[in-house]
Amino acid sequence: MKTKGNSAGGAKTPAPEKILAAAEKLFYRYGIRKTTVGDICAAAGVSRMTFYKHYRDKVRAAEAVLNRLIDEMIGSYRRIMGQKIPYGERVRQFIELKLAKADDMSASFIQDIIASPYPELHALLHRRMEENLKIALDEYRSAQRAGHIRPDVKPEFIVAFLNIMADMVVDKRLTRLYATPRELGAELMNLFFYGVLKNRRR
């Protein structure tokens, strides 16, 4: 894989941040398995010695990228859901944000994260998903009490169904039907919120 090294214009940027930014860009584009430490060093404009001073290997860099991604999404979720606007509009904004984020990611990256071949990354994803599910479950219960979600639907079912949808994003039988992860994600979100009946109003 050929990558273009960054210019040294960001002299004020700390090395860990340069490495993390380069790793994120490469992981998003090529996936984790296809990206090497050498690729990251070249893109960040740092030596291997500098890289290994901050990260033991590329998997540790991937963990940092994943943690930052999840933290950003949690922050955005809380900001959007805290707005004083109709609940449906809040949900729509968050879905749009997630789909826009998916535009930055290759199918390879999503596959490497959700169906990770790296035990450490898989364990981290599991821990962070548990954290996210608790936040989501609390939000669904609150929305149900406020009358925004049907009272006959268990919030736990919503969470379980969303987990199934996450698995579907990396199902090769589905991914080959869509040009980008965003297209598949949009299809799943539309199905979840609007169903398949033609007379459903969006």
Each residue's pLDDT tens digit, 15-42: 999 999 999 999 999 999 999 999 999 9
C-alpha Rg value of the chain to the nearest Å: 19
What secondary structure does DSSP assign to 103-125, as a single string? HTS-HHHHHHHHT-S-HHHHHHH
Contact (Cβ atoms closer than 8 angstroms) between residue 50 and residue 18: no
Amino acid at 2: K
Tokens encoding 135: 């936040």
Q: Looking at residue 8, what is its pLDDT?
A: 47
Instruction: Inform me whether the pLDDT recorded for 196 exceeds 70.
Output: no
**Local confidence band at 99 (pLDDT 50, 70, 90 cut-offs):** confident
pTM score: 0.78
Q: Tell the CATH topology of 59-194.
A: Tetracycline Repressor; domain 2 (1.10.357)
**Local confidence band at 197 (pLDDT 50, 70, 90 cut-offs):** low
- For the chain, domain boundaries: 59-194
Tokens encoding 64: 């940092």
Q: Each residue of 130-179: pLDDT tens digit? A: 898 889 899 999 999 999 989 999 999 988 888 788 778 778 888 889 88
How many other CB atoms sit within 10 Å of the CB of residue 112? Answer: 22
Q: Looking at residue 182, what is its pLDDT?
A: 80
Q: Looking at residue 4, what is its pLDDT?
A: 47
Q: Which residues contact 2 (CB under 8 A, 6 or more apart)?
A: none
Residue reference for tokens 């169906």 = 115
Amino acid at 119: P
